[in-house]
Amino acid sequence: MVSFKINSEEVSYEGDADTPLLWVIRDHLRLTGTKFGCGVGQCGACTVHVDGAAQRSCVMPVSAIDGRDITTIEGLAPSADELHPVQQAWLENDVPQCGYCQAGQIMAAVDFLKNNPSPSDEDINNGVTNICRCGTYVRIRKAIHRAAELSAGEES
C-alpha cells in the first residue's frame, strides 16, 4: 500500500506499485484536471507538484510518492474564493485555446516562478518546457509575466 497526501488530504492506493501516478490521480482518485498527453514525460500535460516541485506524473510510479505531498490543479487555489496568481493571470490573458494542456502549463509555471520570480522571455522559453499543441506560447509568456507581477503585489 502507498500512502500520501493529495491536495492536503491523506489517501492510500493498494493497487500495482508500478502504476503511473497519473492514472492513480485520474482513475482511482477521480481528479481529472491532470491530463494524459504523451505518456513518456515529454509534453507536460500531466504535470503535478510532488513536495512542491513540478513533476511529470505519467512516468512516475505511484511507489515513488509514498509519504509525499502531491498537489494537482484542483488543489492549487488557496480557497474556493481565491485563485492562485498564475490561475488569475491565465484568465486575465485568455491563455487557453483548446485548454487541454493548460492544467500542466499552470502547474509548471507555478514551480518555475518560485525559482524565477522576475523572468525574461528567454528564461520562460528555457524554463517552461511543456508543449501546447495550439501554440499559445505568446499568451503563456505574457501570463507568466503577469503572474510574477501579481505574486510581487504589483497591480497594473
pTM of the model: 0.94
Residue 80 belongs to some domain of the structure: no
Cell of 101: 494542456
Distance CA 152, CA 94 (A): 21
Is the distance from CB of 8 to CB of 77 less than 8 angstroms? no
Domain count of the chain? 2
Residue 93 belongs to some domain of the structure: yes
Cell of 147: 503572474
For residue 154, what pLDDT is reported?
Answer: 64
- Phi then psi for residue 12, to 5 deg, are -140, 160
Domain enclosing residue 126, as ranges: 85-151
pLDDT digits (tens, 9 = 90+) for 63-88: 999 999 999 999 999 888 999 999 99
For residue 153, what pLDDT is reported?
Answer: 81
Q: Tell me, what CATH number does 50's domain have? A: 3.10.20.30
Closest CA to 113 of 104, 103, 123, 122: 123
Same domain, 66 and 30: yes
Q: Tell me, what CATH number does 96's domain have? A: 1.10.150.120
For residue 135, what pLDDT is reported?
Answer: 92
Ranges of the chain with pLDDT below 70: 154-156
